[in-house]
Amino acid sequence: MTGVVVVIIIAILVALGFGLIGMVKGGKQGSDKMFKSLVIRVSLSVLLFVLVMFAGYMGWITPNAVMVDAPIVQTPVQK
């Protein structure tokens, strides 16, 4: 599961790089490259979100435990 998430994040970063190249190029060709990069980046981000939600639902990943009964430590205020 971790490997899949890492691969998707790397793909998002690569699409971000292609968008940067399109922005630097400019013109009609650069604009098309930026638009395609944006579509890929948004699609991968939505896929990653859905995958993480599904993995949590299936129990493949679990949230960190929160200690509700943990003692509260207060430090004295120095004057």
Q: Is residue 71 part of a domain?
A: no
- The reported pLDDT for the residue numbered 48 is 94
Q: Is residue 78 part of a domain?
A: no
pTM comes to: 0.69
Q: Is residue 26 part of a domain?
A: yes
Segment-wise mean pLDDT, segments of 10 residues, the chain, 79 residues: 89 90 79 85 94 90 74 72
CB-CB contact of 47 with 8 (8 Å): yes
- The reported pLDDT for the residue numbered 43 is 94
Determine phi and psi for 63, rounding to 5 degrees: -70, 160
Identify the domain containing residue 8 by its residue range.
2-58
Total domains, the chain: 1
- The reported pLDDT for the residue numbered 70 is 63
